[in-house]
Amino acid sequence: MEGIVLKTIDYKEKSKLVYLYTKAGLISVKALDANKTKLGFVTTLNQVEFEMTSGKLPTVTEYSLKKSFYSIYENLTKVGVLTPILDVIFHLEEGVNHSRIYSFLIQTINELLATEEPYMVLSVFLVKMLAVFGIKPELKKCVHCSRTTLVNFSSLDGGALCDSCSIYHEKNCNLLNDFQQLYYVKDYQNLSLNLTYNEILDEIYQYYAIHANFKLKEYHL
Ligand SMILES: [Zn+2]
């Protein structure tokens, strides 16, 4: 099985409980004598191949390191943005497409490793993941009347607004445009956001606070 280590906690003497995300979802396994023989298996963000025993709380029997993302730890901002990213993964519900999310998580961490814009990687991740929780913003038509002449985005309303439905809001085409870019982006290099990351992340956090059924651990600039 392949997975990425998200968190480890001490478990009895010399052992650790390791939480991994895999193509089958979140799992936790025991790593016995962890500090001596399983160092590569108990390091957060290590991508590993492993075998484990069966049962309710399995024990890892062997593993090999596929990739280490350890150099992310040399950059404090990158470490910071990992907090909400991993928090989202810990809140995934049953029945979601873990295989797809696993690939996206690995892609996100690879982007984070390479980027000079950690907040961009965080913003893309958080906006794209809204769909997984069933709370994707409506970005192509007005959330109230389905008109497609859009002038605004409202977190409270859950998406784009047309001119006549947004009389109580300040017009903010920039915010709408940024959410559209973040949601639909394929190549991160093509992103050209209008707002600052401070502004855009505030709005994304607000969106989660209103629509998600968990309290996201935020990381601010
Ligand atoms: Zn409308």
pLDDT in tens, 76-89: 999 999 999 999 99
- CA 123 – ligand 1 centroid, Å: 26
- CA 200 – ligand 1 centroid, Å: 23
d(CA 30, CA 57): 7
- CA 177 – ligand 1 centroid, Å: 17
Give the three-state DSSP class for 104.
Answer: helix
Kindly state whether residue 216 falls inside one of the protein's structural domains: no
- CA 211 – ligand 1 centroid, Å: 20
Confidence of residue 175 (pLDDT cuts 50, 70, 90): very high
pLDDT given for residue 133 in this prediction:
97
d(CA 149, CA 142): 8
Contact 22, 47 (CB under 8 A): no
- CA 173 – ligand 1 centroid, Å: 14
Full DSSP string of 115-160:
-S-HHHHHHHHHHHHGGGGT-PPB-SS-TTT--S-EEEEETTTTEE
Indicate which CATH number applies to the domain containing 195: 1.20.1440.120
**What mean pLDDT do residues 170-188 have?**
91
Kindly state whether residue 220 falls inside one of the protein's structural domains: no
| Greatest C-alpha distance within the chain | 66
Question: Has residue 19 got a pLDDT over 70?
Answer: yes
Kindly state whether residue 218 falls inside one of the protein's structural domains: no
Contact 155, 203 (CB under 8 A): yes
Mean pLDDT lowest among 11-25, 27-41, 101-115:
27-41
**What mean pLDDT do residues 38-46 have?**
89
Give the three-state DSSP class for 200.
Answer: helix
Q: Which domain holds residue 197?
A: 76-211
Question: Has residue 91 got a pLDDT over 70?
Answer: yes
- CA 155 – ligand 1 centroid, Å: 15
pLDDT given for residue 100 in this prediction:
97
Kindly state whether residue 219 falls inside one of the protein's structural domains: no
Q: Are residues 205 and 146 in the same domain?
A: yes
pLDDT given for residue 169 in this prediction:
67
Indicate which CATH number applies to the domain containing 49: 2.40.50.140
First and final C-alpha spacing in the chain: 36
Kindly state whether residue 39 falls inside one of the protein's structural domains: yes
Q: Per the structure, how many domains does the chain have?
A: 2
Q: Are residues 15 and 51 in the same domain?
A: yes
Contact 102, 175 (CB under 8 A): no
Kindly state whether residue 109 falls inside one of the protein's structural domains: yes
- CA 167 – ligand 1 centroid, Å: 10
Q: Are residues 142 and 96 in the same domain?
A: yes
In the structure, ligand 1 is a single-atom ion and the residues with CB under 5 Å from it are: 142, 144-145, 147, 162, 165
- CA 144 – ligand 1 centroid, Å: 5
d(CA 221, CA 219): 7
Q: Are residues 38 and 135 in the same domain?
A: no
| Average pLDDT over the chain, rounded to an integer | 94
- CA 165 – ligand 1 centroid, Å: 4
The residues, ordered by sequence, that sit 6+ positions from 83 with a Cβ below 8 Å of its Cβ are 217, 219
